[in-house]
């Protein structure tokens, strides 16, 4: 059964979605966004996710420690595992990730996988930028990407 819980933050309402004690998705928007089959809940995982997100957005947390199970293809899973290796306050480009997953000509495919990340922020896809140093894309929008990068690197990505 899917469970969800919402958190109002400075970046919008964040909806955390859990199945079987593992976080499977995160949505950000003005209104809660969750599957129709999900029920509101306050589980241990959802409470920890909300607490850790508050800490991250307050600049008091650099890494998340949550059981996550993003659902996707084998290639997407490989890309998302690489994203989890990007340290707080650092950026990499799509080519870096493509090489790391053994697909050096696959920057576009990596971009597609990054864009389908079901647990953004926690799986830090905002830390992937274009090879030319520009922001590139972001499933939650470029203003949000800039805001997250400014939180982590205030002097490099000024608003």
Q: Which residues are catalytic?
A: 125
CA 110 vs CA 90, 101, 137, 149, 156: distances in Å? 18, 9, 12, 20, 24
- CA 41 – CA 71 distance, rounded (Å): 21
- CA 2 – CA 106 distance, rounded (Å): 33
Residue with tokens 């290796």: 85
- CA 41 – CA 55 distance, rounded (Å): 21
**Residue 1: DSSP 8-state:** -
Task: Burial-class residue 137 by CB neighbours within 10 Å (0-12, 13-18, 19+).
Answer: middle
């Amino acid at each position: 059964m899917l469970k969800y819980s919402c958190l109002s933050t400075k970046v919008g309402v964040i909806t955390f979605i859990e199945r079987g004690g593992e976080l499977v998705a995160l949505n950000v928007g003005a209104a809660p966004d969750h599957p129709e089959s999900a029920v509101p809940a306050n589980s241990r995982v959802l409470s920890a996710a909300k607490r850790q997100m508050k800490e991250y957005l307050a600049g008091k947390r650099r890494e998340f420690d949550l059981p996550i199970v993003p659902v996707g293809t084998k290639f997407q899973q490989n890309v998302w595992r690489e994203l989890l290796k990007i340290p707080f306050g650092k950026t990499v480009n799509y080519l870096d990730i493509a090489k790391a997953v053994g697909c050096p000509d696959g920057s576009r495919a990596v971009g597609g996988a990054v864009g389908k990340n079901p647990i953004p922020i926690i799986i830090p896809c905002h830390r992937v930028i274009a090879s030319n140093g520009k922001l590139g894309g972001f499933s939650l929008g470029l203003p949000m990407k800039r805001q997250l990068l400014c939180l982590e690197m205030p002097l490099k990505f000024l608003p």
